[in-house]
Amino acid sequence: MSNQKPIADNLFTWPSDQPKLLGSRDTETGRYFFPAKKSNTHEQVELSRKGKLWTWTVQRFMPKTPYIGAENPEDFKPYAVGYIELPGEIMVESRLEGVDPEDLKIGMEMELSIDPFVKNEDGEELMMFSFRPCKN
Amino acid sequence: MSDVAIIGIGIHPFGRTEGMTGLQQGVHAAREALSDAEMEWSDIQFAFGGSAAAGSADAMVNDLGLTGIPFMNVSNGCATGGSSLLSAYTTIKSGQFDIGMAVGFDKHPRGAFNADPEASGLPRWYGETGLMLTTQFFGMKIQRYMNDYGITSDSLALVAEKAFNNASLNPNAWRREPVSKDTILNAMMVSDPLTKYMFCSPAEGAVALILCKAELAHKYTSKPLFLKGAAFRSRPLGSFEVFSPSLEVERGPSPTVGASDATFEMAGMTREDIDLAQLQDTESGAEIMHMSENGFCKDGEQEKLLQDGDTKLDGKFPVNTDGGCIANGEPVGASGLRQVYENCVQLRGAAGKRQVQGNPKTAYTHVYGAPGISACTIITT
């Protein structure tokens, strides 16, 4: 799978069986940041893989630029978006995969997943994070 | 220090005007305001103005006249109009000048705004993967609010229905056809729980206001209005704002709370003193949440207020009497000043079929926008 790479550097640990988002923590205030902030007072942290859905919506029309998804307006399928509360850390905005919008519920348990998002012009698959309902 | 009066108001109708630039619409509004105050452009000692996407306001001097006055361009996103007004207010209050203009105009292409991640200090992937859309933010904010405070989709629809009803009585509004609650509820979903009719669209329009030192007001008008409070705030830690890849777990107040409190403090007034309000309604949910963020009710009380019709034109506390953003569209540079324009019309008793009854004496405006800014005003007779 050498033709896959993360959509951005320092975004998540990958490849890994248990990938994690990379954030940072301000050592002076204890506040968490995502994406990670570069600063003398920040240390990089791996964020929790699991959290609860804090709110959600569904993107029902195809976004304009700078969106790089491979769909055409004809075959565009709505996708869900939400914030996942990683307890004691931070709330992260993410696409929600593996769940029908009708089944989304505030408070449901979600976990991180890394999946191919789109191919770049070199034919490499760009990997992006999303959250999915926990399996059990 | 002297009070500040509003003595002239002008508007170019909102909506779409083919063959006219945003700047030209601004000039139209400026001329209307001058005519309303029965004065000449040469009487104006300074001006503040701006647009988000239709050019520099100071270019208006080519049409209005080269009088050499300081004309300052303001660029402050959705608070551009509010910032122009606040700047004009403090200029007069400081004693630097006596008479000035605040003007805002815009002309946006159709459809949702394109967002540039880097211009907002955000990583490219955030836009590339389809997370950077204002519509998503509005959907997610009201979704959580409905969950926490028991607001129903029916009430979201009532807000939009009211907007179109009010606009049907406003010749300057864009969408002047009433739309029924059922049509609104059953329309295409844009970002759950918000349907097509619950959202405002980018549009065109212009508003100009002439302000002066209160002592001079009666020279120009028999019905001067007074700008008693005006304040602007950016987002505090913990607020929930558009274009946020992440949020603090510990929730905090929105910038609206700070701007509203500061405005009331400046005016020395309380919420009970206000007769009507124009509140930012980028979509139906925003109007509902802004009712409480501005302190006019507690979280959750909106459901009953809306179901009882309290915010309709003939209700106890009319909100968005001109149709708001939902029916006027949102030309960013002009939108905040439209709210002030409408309040002036109402307080003059000149709103015709949409006139709020009972001789209103005080009116409030609230504008909110990306990336988490809010500006409020209080105007009195």
Strands (E), chain A: 4-6, 22-26, 32-33, 42-46, 50-59, 79-86, 90-96, 109-119, 125-133
Mean pLDDT of all residues in B133-156? 97
Q: Do B130 and A54 touch (CB under 8 A)?
A: no
Is B38 a domain residue? yes
Dihedral sign computed on CA atoms, order B300, B327, B57, B223: negative
Query: Which positions in chain A have a beta carbon within 8 angstroms of at least one beta carbon in chain B?
Result: 7-8, 11, 23, 31-35, 54-61, 63-69, 79, 81-83, 85-95, 101, 106, 117, 128
Percent of chain B with pLDDT over 70: 99
CB contacts of A105 in chain B (<8 Å) are none
Task: Please give the tally of structural domains in chain B.
Answer: 1
Is B163 a domain residue? no
**What value of ipTM does the predicted structure carry?**
0.96
Q: Please, which residues have CB within 8 angstroms of residue A27's CB and are 6 or more apart in sequence?
A: A41, A42, A43
Q: Do B190 and A68 touch (CB under 8 A)?
A: no
Asked whether residue A2 carries a pLDDT value surpassing 70, the answer given is no
Q: Do A55 and B143 touch (CB under 8 A)?
A: yes
Confidence of residue B116 (pLDDT cuts 50, 70, 90): confident
What is the Cα–Cα distance from B165 to B173, expressed in whole angstroms?
Answer: 11
CATH of the domain at B333: 3.40.47.10
Q: Do B249 and A23 touch (CB under 8 A)?
A: no
In this prediction, residue B113 carries a pLDDT of 66
- Closest residue in A to B111 (Cα–Cα): A64
Separation of CA B252 from chain center: 23
Asked whether residue A1 carries a pLDDT value surpassing 70, the answer given is no
pLDDT tens track for B14-59: 999 999 999 999 999 999 999 999 999 999 999 999 999 999 999 9
pLDDT tens track for B161-205: 999 999 999 999 999 999 999 999 999 999 999 999 999 999 999
Q: Are B293 and B271 in contact (CB under 8 A)?
A: no
In this prediction, residue B103 carries a pLDDT of 98
At B113, give phi and psi (nearest 5°). -65, 140
Smallest CA-to-CA distance from B105 within B169, B39, B41, B48 is with B48
Length of chain B counted residue by residue: 381
Whether B285 has its CB under 8 Å from any CB of chain A: the answer is: no
Confidence of residue A136 (pLDDT cuts 50, 70, 90): low
Asked whether residue B118 carries a pLDDT value surpassing 90, the answer given is no
Is B237 a domain residue? yes
Asked whether residue B318 carries a pLDDT value surpassing 60, the answer given is yes
pLDDT tens track for B222-271: 999 999 999 999 999 999 998 999 999 999 999 999 999 999 999 999 99
Q: Are B40 and B4 in contact (CB under 8 A)?
A: no
Confidence of residue B62 (pLDDT cuts 50, 70, 90): very high
Scan residues 127-166 of B and list those with Cβ closer than 8 Å to A: 127-133, 135-136, 139-141, 143-144, 147
H or E segment at B102? strand B99-107
Is B315 a domain residue? yes
pLDDT tens track for B326-340: 999 999 999 999 999
Whether B118 has its CB under 8 Å from any CB of chain A: the answer is: no
Is B360 a domain residue? yes
Is B28 a domain residue? yes
Angle at B169 between CA B163 and CA B173, to 5 degrees: 65
Name the one residue in this structure whose structure tokens are 């704002």. B241
Which residues sit opposite B81 in a β-bridge? Answer: none
Mean pLDDT of all residues in B142-167? 98
Mean pLDDT of all residues in B131-142? 95
Whole domain around residue B211: which residue ranges?
4-110+200-380
CB contacts of A101 in chain B (<8 Å) are 192
In this prediction, residue B47 carries a pLDDT of 98
For all residues of chain B together, what is the average pLDDT?
95
Which candidate in A7, A93, A113, A114 is best for mutational testing of the B interface (most B CBs within 10 A)?
Answer: A93
CA A86 to chain B, closest CA, distance in angstroms equals 8
Asked whether residue B112 carries a pLDDT value surpassing 80, the answer given is no
What tokens does B173 get?
Answer: 């509004």
Smallest CA-to-CA distance from B364 within B344, B350, B334 is with B344
DSSP string, B33-92: HHHHTT--GGG--EEEEE-SSS--GGGGHHHH------EEE---GGGHHHHHHHHHHHHH
Domain ranges across chain A: 4-133
Is B14 a domain residue? yes
Q: Do B128 and A58 touch (CB under 8 A)?
A: no
Is B173 a domain residue? no
CA B175 to chain A, closest CA, distance in angstroms equals 22
Percent of chain B with pLDDT over 90: 92
Candidates A7, A91, A106; nearest CB to B147 = A106
| Burial (CB count within 10 angstroms: exposed 0-12, middle 13-18, buried 19+), residue B253 | middle
CB contacts of A67 in chain B (<8 Å) are 127-130
What is the Cα–Cα distance from B354 to B166, expressed in whole angstroms?
Answer: 7
CB contacts of B131 in chain A (<8 Å) are 81, 93-95
Mean pLDDT of all residues in A116-135? 95
CA B191 to chain A, closest CA, distance in angstroms equals 5
The β-bridge relationship of strands B189-191 and B194-195 is antiparallel
Mean pLDDT of all residues in B92-117? 89
Mean pLDDT of all residues in B74-79? 87
pLDDT tens track for A32-87: 999 999 999 999 999 999 999 999 999 999 999 899 999 999 999 999 999 999 99
Q: Do B246 and A90 touch (CB under 8 A)?
A: yes
Confidence of residue B77 (pLDDT cuts 50, 70, 90): confident
Angle at A108 between CA A106 and CA A112, to 5 degrees: 115
